[in-house]
């Protein structure tokens, strides 16, 4: 697989490589990094062939290192992704991804009547609920339960 990647998307000098993202989740993952104002080079591979996943997305962000919070959010969408820290062209670390118990201040509650929309000082907070393969988020304030897709889309 390493050979495949190296042929498909150029190696980077310093930064973060997020590999083994399930196909079609790449754009969502990219939005977690809020790269809108950044001038760093980002290379994206979508629907790359992967022996493990069939097809995968891959994101390389130069000179940006993933925070623990971002790793937690990433775990929600792509728990099997691998996050590689690159320094001087070498993989110096592979960060473990673990599903967090709670996600704070990352997403808006999809319930428009939720107090988190009225009180600007109240940060959103969701408890992560896992049911077999399905991940749901329960708002700490209105106690409504949403699929992770719905929460992510009301970003």
Known binding residues for Zn(2+) are 109, 114, 139, 142
- Of 8-16, 51-59, 60-68, 101-109, which part binds Zn ion (CB under 5 A)? 101-109
Under the binding rule (CB under 6 A), the answer on residue 19 touching ligand CTP is: yes
Q: How far is the CB of 111 from Zn ion (least distance, A)?
A: 5
Q: How far are the Cα atoms of 16, 75, 96, 146, 150 from residue 1, in angstroms, in the given order?
A: 18, 22, 19, 35, 33
Which residues, at least 6 apart from 128, have a Cβ–Cβ distance to it below 8 Å? 76, 99, 100, 101, 102, 103, 135, 136, 137
In the list 50, 70, 73, 84, the residue contacting ligand CTP (rule: CB under 6 A) is 84
Residue 139, judged by CB atoms within 10 A of its CB (0-12, 13-18, 19+), counts as buried
Please provide residue 149's backbone torsions phi and psi, each rounded to the nearest 5 degrees: -65, -45
Under the binding rule (CB under 6 A), the answer on residue 89 touching ligand CTP is: yes
Residue 142 binding target from Zn ion, ligand CTP, none, CB below 5 to 8 Å by type = Zn ion
Q: How far is the CB of 54 from ligand CTP (least distance, A)?
A: 15
What b-and-e string marks burial along 19-48, b requiring 16 or more CB atoms within 10 Å of the CB?
Answer: bbbbeebbebbbebbeeeeeeeebebbeeb
- Give 40 or 143: the residue with its C-beta nearer to Zn ion: 143
Under the binding rule (CB under 6 A), the answer on residue 16 touching ligand CTP is: no
- Of 27-35, 100-108, 110-118, 126-134, which part binds Zn ion (CB under 5 A)? 110-118
Residue 129 near residue 102, CB atoms below 8 Å: no
Binding site for ligand CTP (CB under 6 A): 1-2, 5-6, 11-12, 17, 19, 60, 82, 84, 86, 89, 91
């Amino acid at each position: 697989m390493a050979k495949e990647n190296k042929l498909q998307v150029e190696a980077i000098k310093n930064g973060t490589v997020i590999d083994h993202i399930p196909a079609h989740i790449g754009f969502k993952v990219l939005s977690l990094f809020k790269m809108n104002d950044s001038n760093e080079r980002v290379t994206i591979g979508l629907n790359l062939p992967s022996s493990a996943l069939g097809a995968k997305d891959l994101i390389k962000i130069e000179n940006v290192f993933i925070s623990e919070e971002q790793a937690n959010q990433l775990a929600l969408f792509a728990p099997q992704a691998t996050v590689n820290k690159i320094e001087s062209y070498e993989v110096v670390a592979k960060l473990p991804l673990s599903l967090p118990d709670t996600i704070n201040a990352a997403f808006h509650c999809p319930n428009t009547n939720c107090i988190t929309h009225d009180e600007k000082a109240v940060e959103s907070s969701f408890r992560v609920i896992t049911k077999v393969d399905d991940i749901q988020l329960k708002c700490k304030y209105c106690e409504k339960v949403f699929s992770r897709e719905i929460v992510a889309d009301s970003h």
